[in-house]
Amino acid sequence: MNILLTGGAGYIGSHTTVLLMQAGLHVCVLDNFCNSEQIVLERIARITGKPPSFVEADVCNTSVVADALKRYEVQAVIHFAGLKAVGGSVTQPINYYANNVQGTISLLQAMQSSGVKTLVFSSSATVYGNPQYLPIDESHPTSATNPYGRTKLHIEEMLTDVSRSDPAWRIACLRYFNPVGAHESGLIGENPRGVPNNLMPLVAQVASGLRPYVQVFGNDYSTSDGTGVRDYIHVMDLAEGHLAALQYLQKNVGWHGFNLGTGKGRSVLEMIRAFESASGQAVPFKVVPRRVGDVAACYAKANKACELLGWSAKRDLASMCESTWNFRINAKEQ
Ligand code: NAD
Ligand code: UD1
């Protein structure tokens, strides 16, 4: 089977590329490197023994995407390409709508003109807005609290309309909770530019001495230890979720939304402690006021993916922390 991965050089895309190649699928990565680097493709080749096919392009360039679909005889697309910083989306909403929403429209036009009607889309738990109940199942009402979240919601709604318009489409929206961790080789992982926005890359940088301490955003939430609770999921489990979704779409038409999470909530302090024992390093922290827009707790009900996709997260918290640390050490040495 031939698969196009837009944004396949990025954090989640690169891990999924490795997994799909090792499962015997032919992968073509399409990326413009706006948030990744060419070296990732070499690292993928070191892990898998050969590089994926590659097209350097912006997903907004419909004719180039259509050419790639035809040239590589693509049967299904996984659409990772998108901008993902919540803060950036508040200050630059036009960029976010242009890249995420317009990018998806462009991809859909290319797919339609090429007769490719199978799509797995990188959605996010952000489409649930502020949780109204926990754990969050797929029937939880959707809403958005920032422009990034609104792009994901708009795209999901567009994809629902596309599926309604033509029953031949097969679409899975995978709503990721909090992806963390890295490939066991230590060659690929999350490598954010500048100061990381997310907890785990920051914890890893503090453990390695790059930054003095983690700012813990609030310890007065109504959670077990007062700090924020999230559903952290190993990126390789997430990658496996994409393979399971592709297999599901072979047998099922229509639009389908799935949570990809572990179903387990972990607090910020739990994550820091787990990282300390995985790395053997101290992770100093200071409690500071809550971050605007944060919620106390957010975790998935992951039963639907288990029942329909036959997928569930298998890797534990220690593995998430150890692989993050392994990648951090490797990245420093190379
Ligand atoms: P990432 O930034 O590491 O990867 C995205 C990749 O897409 C990068 O390689 C980037 O260069 C590429 N890209 C962006 N815009 C493009 C364009 N217009 N044309 C071609 N390539 C483009 O991000 P990630 O963490 O791997 O996330 C992948 C997807 O999953 C995104 O859509 C993101 O919104 C979604 N998601 C991520 C998280 C998370 O915490 N990482 C959570 C929920 C959803
Ligand atoms: C954030 C985004 C969310 C996005 C998700 C994907 C916000 C408000 N939300 O979610 O839209 O889908 O990333 O990765 O940005 N924390 C600290 N100190 C830090 C960083 C984080 O204490 O320096 C805490 C947060 O308060 C939260 C937890 O760690 O309780 C996780 O934070 P983060 O990694 O940013 O993820 P989310 O807030 O869940």
Residue 211 burial by Cβ neighbours in a 10 Å radius (0-12, 13-18, 19+)? middle
Residue 290 falls inside a structural domain: no
Distance 199 CA to ligand 2 centre (A): 6
CATH number at residue 85: 3.40.50.720
Q: What is the pLDDT of residues 254-285, one digit of tens each?
A: 999 999 999 999 999 999 999 999 999 999 99
Residue 187 falls inside a structural domain: no
Distance 198 CA to ligand 2 centre (A): 5
- Residue whose structure tokens are 């944004």: 7
Nearest to 208 by CA among 88, 81, 321: 321
148 is catalytic: yes
Neighbours of 277 (CB within 10 A): 12
Residue 253 falls inside a structural domain: yes
In short, whether 100's Cβ falls inside 6 Å of ligand 1 is no
- d(Cα 89, Cα 165) in Å, to the nearest integer? 30
Per-residue pLDDT of the chain (334 residues; tens, 9 = 90+): 999 999 999 999 999 999 999 999 999 999 999 999 999 999 999 999 999 999 999 999 999 999 999 999 999 999 999 999 999 999 999 999 999 999 999 999 999 999 999 999 999 999 999 999 999 999 999 999 999 999 999 999 999 999 999 999 999 999 999 999 999 999 999 988 888 989 999 999 999 999 999 999 999 999 999 999 999 999 999 999 999 999 999 999 999 999 999 999 999 999 999 999 999 999 999 999 999 889 999 999 999 999 999 999 999 999 999 999 999 998 766 5
Query: What's the total number of domains in the chain?
Result: 1
Nearest to 278 by CA among 311, 240, 234: 234
In short, whether 37's Cβ falls inside 6 Å of ligand 1 is no
In short, whether 198's Cβ falls inside 6 Å of ligand 2 is yes
- d(Cα 277, Cα 274) in Å, to the nearest integer? 5
Distance 132 CA to ligand 1 centre (A): 27
- d(Cα 257, Cα 190) in Å, to the nearest integer? 25
Decide: helix, strand or coil at residue 110: helix
Q: Structure tokens of 190? A: 């999350």
- d(Cα 305, Cα 140) in Å, to the nearest integer? 15
In short, whether 174's Cβ falls inside 6 Å of ligand 1 is no
Distance 101 CA to ligand 1 centre (A): 13
CB 55 within 8 A of CB 64: yes
Q: What is the pLDDT of residues 112-130, one digit of tens each?
A: 999 999 999 999 999 999 9
Whole-model pTM: value is: 0.98
Residue 109 falls inside a structural domain: yes
Residue 207 falls inside a structural domain: no
In short, whether 297's Cβ falls inside 6 Å of ligand 2 is no
Residue 269 falls inside a structural domain: no
Which-ligand-closest: CA of 176?
Answer: 1
To the nearest whole percent, how much of the chain has pLDDT over 90?
96
Residue 22 falls inside a structural domain: yes
Domain enclosing residue 161, as ranges: 2-181+232-261+301-313
Among the listed residues 148, 221, 232, 248, the single catalytic one is: 148
Taking CA atoms only, the protein residue closest to ligand 1 atom 19 is 58
